[in-house]
Structure 1
Amino acid sequence: MSMFAKEAYALAMFAATCGFLLAGFPVAFTLGGSALLFGLVGYGVGIFDIAFLSAMPQRIFGTMTNEVLIAVPLFVFMGVMLERSKVAEELLDSMGRMFGSLRGGLGLSVCLVGALLAASTGIVGATVVTMGLLSLPTMLRRGYDPAVSCGAICASGTLGQIIPPSIVLVLLGDQISNAYSDAQRALGNWSPDPVSVGDLFAGALIPGLMLVVLYMAYLALTAWLRPHTSPAIEMEEVESKGEMWSRIAHALIPPVVLIVAVLGSILTGVATPTEAAAVGAVGALLLAGMRQEGTSPKPIYVAGLGLLVALIMVRTFDLRVARDEIGTGDMVAIIVATLALLAVFYGLVVALKRVYISGVLTEVSRSTMNISSMVFVIIVGAGLFSLVFRGLGGEEMVHEFLTNLPGGALGAMLVVMGVMFFLGFFLDFIEIVYVVVPIVGPILLKMDLDPVWLGVMIAMNLQTSFLTPPFGFALFYLRGVAPPEVKTMHIYKGVFPFILIQLLGLGLVALFPEIATWLPSVIFS
């Protein structure tokens, strides 16, 4: 058959997959099943080489042995454990009391807590549901407009997509790294500088904080222009300053220390993202053990101190023991690090016992397994889809289309961003990362685009997809826990300004790439 017939068949497969997803079929099995179906039919009519499918076992093995992707279940465990240990509940309560006397203060506290939970949990669904259960009834009871309340909760909950450590940044970093290597090899550069997940974490930090500032500016402006939508809490309802600061310190310091330990270890080069994810999982487990009622926090303090000492020893000394000669200083450091790890082990045993008795450990383990299984099954299905799409000539078709667009790299980038924005209406971010990015990534990176900037732009675009009706996942999460008096139109109306803010942020990063590229260049130079 002609090349035109193959390309039309590839587009038909893509359209059919979208149709199956809209019909409600499971995402992972839709991607793999539609690809297999179209591949076998294509083989029968002579337009698809079945040999392409022989690469699938190697792809699955590569996913299983990819050290970067080990960070996914570890970050999921960290996020779910922090959610179950009432960290979000304490943060929301404390921040609400801190800002409650200000007009629009509860909205500002929701944004700040959303940012903190984004940097500690990174799970959009858990954040939106938690804040929807805890904050939305309070905001409505205080006289807040339902649309403003819903918009603030949904938008703040999606910050986990862009503020590191984030699961989407881990998955996207892996794909951008592969795409950049492919692009550089195609250009004749066989030893390119690697692009890591750590680069993407550093690049996304400033844009993520910029979005937090834009959200808060909008809520403050709304409270000023329309005071009835965001009233202040009466002063007599606010506790004394001493009690307030004590409550805030108790709620804020532990998660902030954990965030600094995880992000700091990545950005300073002490640990890879996977190793930092392990630190985060251990820290979340210790924090959950400390939050159990009727227990002493001393074993957790000992373990936390041991973890800090171990990180310092790793950064400062050479702790390798498989050496012919070990200096006195290094030997002392090895002994200190060993004692520190024993302290961590002691605290972990105590924390595990506590969370197991309370039933939290079972819930967290089950949720972690469910979420991680979903992610990796989608990765396998997306891998099969991209293989068949490539075998049908779809990659060459996309390459020809993008390279022939007017405006060169700018025109191609605008089209890709537009397509991703549209796909975000009905596809999850994992499908977009593993179906679209492997196809368009190498093409765009051949046009001399910065890989970190491209990754941050895609991540911000995918974050917007959580807010866009009719299938924005954050909207469904909130709809599921919202009180009956909150209508679906309230949620849609509330998120619309935040979608515009997202697009504004995306435009700022597009116009000023240094927002995304400056910090990685400073840290990793």
Structure 2
Amino acid sequence: MIGIVMFFTALFMLIIGFPVAFTFAAVSVFFGIFAGFLEVFSYSEEGTALAQLLSEGWAEGIAMFDYMPFRIFAIQQSTILMAIPMFIFMGIVLQKTGLAEKLLESMGFLFGEIRGGVAISTVLVGTLLAASTGVVGASVVAMGVISLPVMLKYKYNTELATGTICASGTLGQIIPPSIVLIILGDVFQVPVGDLFASAVGPGLALVCAYIVFILVVSFIKKDMAPVIPADPSRGSKKKQVIRALIDIIPSLTLIILVLGSIFAGVATPTESAAVGCIGAIVLAALYKTFSIKMVKEAALESVKITSMVFGILIGATAFSMVFSYTGGEEIVEHAMMSLPGDDKWGFVIFTMLAILILGFFIDFIEISYIIVPILIPVAETLGINPVWFAILIAMNLQTSFLTPPFGFSLFYLKGCAPAGVTTSQIYKGVLPFIIIQVIVLGLVAFYPEIFGMSADI
């Protein structure tokens, strides 16, 4: 039971706010040494000196970490994880080019004359930003600063406006190139390109579901998303379309270069990430925002974020190693296999509910590196398709960005929203979109063939 106690100890420490990487590392060291003492004391002969028992217990606990350097070295050699810093750098550079501002401005006026048009344009821009940057914080803040004031000015319902922005900003978690998918590719040991290709269908299904919801709400309650009058100063409709296309084409080109090279088999995700970095710098030059200072700032920010991810990964590696050595995996596997009903579906439903609930309190990185490795052996035993299971988890983790009280998108939007927008309005606004995500998650789970996947190996 040491592994189970260790798991809940780490979870409790995360919930009360201890740093993630240090929590995993400290908990694993403490319980690893404790397990060593427990084993020595359990099998010691009567009359053995206490000093000897303590010495042997300490040695046994420390010996558990002898292979830790080899695990860390294996992480450093992972070509899959090399893509993470490059995609982060690409996203930060694009954030600094003002890409989101130009897209939102053009598409907002393009769709403004449709009821709910600005909200729809926000979803479409969120999709483009997700496929070109994948940085949730940057997307939410950009749309919150630009799109939210416009919607509030034209009397859009505050809950609908804030919910649309938060949900659109999180699309970067499921639409490739997604950091979540890269991490899950490493954890599941499946090709990231397969995950990227499989995530496109569910991601676009979410986008369509968001747009349908906005159109239906706008039609039923016309005062929630009124029509925005045409702006004569922006020229004819034809000129507005041309202007929007000019703003869309650069980001669309980058998406084709990055994702197209992966799907066509021309490049691996790591190689396409490098292409994306070059493409982002070229776009910065086209938008006249390129400078050595900008590249330096983007590089430093990328290093900080990447260091955080890898720090968590090393702590999580130590945690999973001790959890496995102390028998935690066997207990979890036995519990999962004992679930009522069909073994496979009982396991899938239980894990999805567990991840959804954990997403209310802890970050997607912790879930990916701590919870998911515990579930993988059970999934393999049940013959579950790892790509399909990874997509389900990725979609579930996307929901964690929206769920109160700790959803990151909620904090990002609150930080940049006008003074009149309250936290409770943002919470209410995201609830319909959370329900939409759960519905689409259910479709992917029970009807994977619609998205070109199979639940079985």
TM-score (norm 1): 0.80
Partners of 1:370 and 1:115 in 2: CA distance: 26
What one-letter code is carried by the residue in structure 1 that aligns with 2:64? F
Greater mean deviation of Cα atoms: 241-250 or 423-432: 241-250
What one-letter code is carried by the residue in structure 2 that aligns with 1:396? E
Match of 1:439 in 2: 374
Partners of 2:5 and 2:313 in 1: CA distance: 21
Partners of 1:103 and 1:22 in 2: CA distance: 42
Match of 2:241 in 1: 245
What one-letter code is carried by the residue in structure 1 that aligns with 2:226? P
8 Å Cα contact 1:97-1:239 kept in structure 2: no
Partners of 2:440 and 2:143 in 1: CA distance: 23
TM-score (norm 2): 0.92
8 Å Cα contact 1:129-1:478 kept in structure 2: yes
Match of 2:105 in 1: 93
Match of 1:232 in 2: 227
8 Å Cα contact 1:453-1:517 kept in structure 2: no
8 Å Cα contact 1:118-1:164 kept in structure 2: yes
Structure 2 residue corresponding to 1:16, chosen from 3, 9, 13: 9
Match of 2:167 in 1: 155
Match of 2:70 in 1: 58
Partners of 1:37 and 1:149 in 2: CA distance: 47
What one-letter code is carried by the residue in structure 1 that aligns with 2:222? P
Match of 1:300 in 2: none
**Superposition deviation, residue 49 in structure 1:** 4.7
1:481-520, aligned counterparts within 5 Å?
A: 481-518=416-453
Partners of 2:158 and 2:33 in 1: CA distance: 51
Partners of 1:470 and 1:225 in 2: CA distance: 30
Match of 1:143 in 2: 155
Match of 2:328 in 1: 394
1:112-131, aligned counterparts within 5 Å?
A: 112-131=124-143
Partners of 2:136 and 2:102 in 1: CA distance: 18
Gaps of 5+ in 2: 41-59
Name the SS for the 1:229 alignment partner.
coil
Match of 1:416 in 2: 351
**Cα pair distance change 1:126/1:214, threshold 3 Å:** same
What one-letter code is carried by the residue in structure 1 that aligns with 2:169? G
Match of 1:164 in 2: 176
**Superposition deviation, residue 12 in structure 1:** 2.1
**Superposition deviation, residue 497 in structure 1:** 0.3
1:284 aligns with 2:218: no
1:456 aligns with 2:386: no
Q: How many residues align?
A: 435
Deviation sequence 1:249-303 (CA, Å, 0-9, x none)? 221000001101111100010000100111111101111111116xxxxxxxxxx
Gaps of 5+ in 1: 1-6, 178-194, 294-353, 520-525
**Superposition deviation, residue 40 in structure 1:** 2.4
1:35 aligns with 2:28: yes
Q: Percent identity?
A: 48
1:185-264, aligned counterparts within 5 Å?
A: 195-236=190-231, 239-264=235-260
Deviation sequence 1:10-68 (CA, Å, 0-9, x none)? 22222221221222221111121222222223333338854331221111111111011
8 Å Cα contact 2:184-2:390 kept in structure 1: yes
1:46 aligns with 2:39: yes
8 Å Cα contact 1:31-1:385 kept in structure 2: yes
Tell me the C-alpha RMSD between the 2 structures: 1.8
Name the SS for the 1:24 alignment partner.
coil
8 Å Cα contact 1:452-1:516 kept in structure 2: no
**Superposition deviation, residue 169 in structure 1:** 0.5
8 Å Cα contact 1:452-1:517 kept in structure 2: no
**Superposition deviation, residue 516 in structure 1:** 3.9
8 Å Cα contact 2:32-2:64 kept in structure 1: no
Deviation sequence 1:156-179 (CA, Å, 0-9, x none)? 0110010011111011011112xx
Structure 2 residue corresponding to 1:174, chosen from 186, 209, 214: 186
Greater mean deviation of Cα atoms: 132-141 or 157-166: 132-141
**Cα pair distance change 1:453/1:516, threshold 3 Å:** farther
What one-letter code is carried by the residue in structure 2 that aligns with 1:122? G
**Superposition deviation, residue 434 in structure 1:** 1.0
Partners of 1:250 and 1:367 in 2: CA distance: 29
Partners of 1:133 and 1:385 in 2: CA distance: 40
Match of 2:57 in 1: none
What one-letter code is carried by the residue in structure 2 that aligns with 1:147? E
Name the SS for the 1:165 alignment partner.
coil
Deviation sequence 1:316-364 (CA, Å, 0-9, x none)? xxxxxxxxxxxxxxxxxxxxxxxxxxxxxxxxxxxxxx421xx321221
**Superposition deviation, residue 449 in structure 1:** 1.4
Greater mean deviation of Cα atoms: 240-249 or 283-292: 240-249
What one-letter code is carried by the residue in structure 2 that aligns with 1:22? I
Structure 2 residue corresponding to 1:271, chosen from 250, 255, 267: 267
Partners of 1:423 and 1:10 in 2: CA distance: 18
8 Å Cα contact 1:94-1:248 kept in structure 2: yes
8 Å Cα contact 1:176-1:451 kept in structure 2: yes
What one-letter code is carried by the residue in structure 2 that aligns with 1:507? G
What one-letter code is carried by the residue in structure 2 that aligns with 1:439? I
Deviation sequence 1:481-513 (CA, Å, 0-9, x none)? 111110000011000000100000001011111
Name the SS for the 1:368 alignment partner.
helix
Deviation sequence 1:399-439 (CA, Å, 0-9, x none)? 11111222211101111111111111111111111111111
Partners of 2:62 and 2:446 in 1: CA distance: 44
8 Å Cα contact 1:456-1:516 kept in structure 2: no
Partners of 1:118 and 1:452 in 2: CA distance: 21
What one-letter code is carried by the residue in structure 2 that aligns with 1:33? A
Partners of 1:374 and 1:242 in 2: CA distance: 47
Match of 1:337 in 2: none
8 Å Cα contact 2:109-2:230 kept in structure 1: no
What one-letter code is carried by the residue in structure 1 that aligns with 2:297? E
**Cα pair distance change 1:68/1:394, threshold 3 Å:** same
8 Å Cα contact 2:333-2:377 kept in structure 1: no
8 Å Cα contact 1:105-1:232 kept in structure 2: yes
1:75 aligns with 2:87: yes
